[in-house]
Structure 1
Amino acid sequence: MLTIGLEEVHFHAFHGLYPEEAIIGNEFIVDVHVTIPGTHPVDSISETVNYQGLYNIVKKIMAIPQPLLEQVVYSMSDAIKHKYPEIQRSVVSLRKMNPPMGASVRNSIVSLEKNY
């Protein structure tokens, strides 16, 4: 198996349940890892998953405000699998930094792991 990923991709986005989150937004960090068969050496970008393509998917979805982080990670996972059908496993994690909950919390996290 061959794993390709992006770690700690930073975005300012507007996901969240509370009205102020739609106005001021928050800082988010995304991690994405995908696994494809690794039965032979890769000689061409067409034989693997282009991490620039992964970034473009994540960026596009992060630009669409959603009330729940769960919705965001499911959208990312589905879009990545659609673009790269050879993927056998994906893990998408989304951290909201300093979530507005009246407590000192570094981040909340939602992580979705799928085997295909």
Structure 2
Amino acid sequence: MTDRIIITDLRFFGFHGVLPEETSLGQRFRVDITCSLDLGEAGRTDQVENTVHYGQVIEVVERIVTTHRYKLIETLAETIARSLFEAFARIDSLIVRITKPEAPVQIATGLIAIEIERSRSRG
């Protein structure tokens, strides 16, 4: 599959983390989503119902990041992947990247991120 919908640099405020200040003060998170699916029919018909509406994808991601709390961003990413598969039957596989630009680590600069790749179980 080479067709993809790519959504990058979504920015949300959430309360995910292990440290007490992360869960009480919160922090910014960046989310990148790559959805692999067949976009051929959408390209031929020019009909939104033949694709995955990226605005609706963003709404699902925003709801999860801003209304749930997880200790691990790995769990946050898994929840996003599972929810997107449940909401959009056309998605065959996903890449979800979560970045914590202000992770509480003792370095002068840098980003902390995790990335997962998941495929839908068909059959």
Please indicate, yes or no, whether the TM-score normalized by the shorter chain is above 0.5.
yes
Quick one: percent identity of the two aligned structures?
22
Question: 3-state DSSP class of the match of 1:80?
Answer: helix
Question: Where does the alignment leave 5 or more consecutive residues of structure 2 unmatched?
Answer: none
Count of aligned pairs between the two proteins: 116
Q: For structure 1, which segment, 52-61 or 1-10, has the greater mean C-alpha deviation from structure 2 after superposition?
A: 1-10
Structure 1 residues 45, 68: CA separation in 2 closer, same or farther (over 3 Å shift)?
A: same
Q: Quick check: which one's helix share is greater?
A: 2
TM-score by length of 2: 0.87
Runs of 4+ in 1 over 6 A off after TM superposition: none
Q: Quick check: which one's strand share is greater?
A: 1
User: 1:47: how far off?
Assistant: 0.4
TM-score by length of 1: 0.92
Structure 1 residues 81, 6: CA separation in 2 closer, same or farther (over 3 Å shift)?
A: same
Could you tell me which residue of structure 2 aligns to residue 70 of structure 1? 74
C-alpha RMSD of the superposition: 1.3
1:41-85 Cα offsets, whole Å, 9 max, x none, are 242111000001110111011011110000000000000011111
1:10-50 Cα offsets, whole Å, 9 max, x none, are 11111100001111111111000101113432421110000
What is the 5 A alignment of 1:43-82? 43-63=46-66, 64-82=68-86
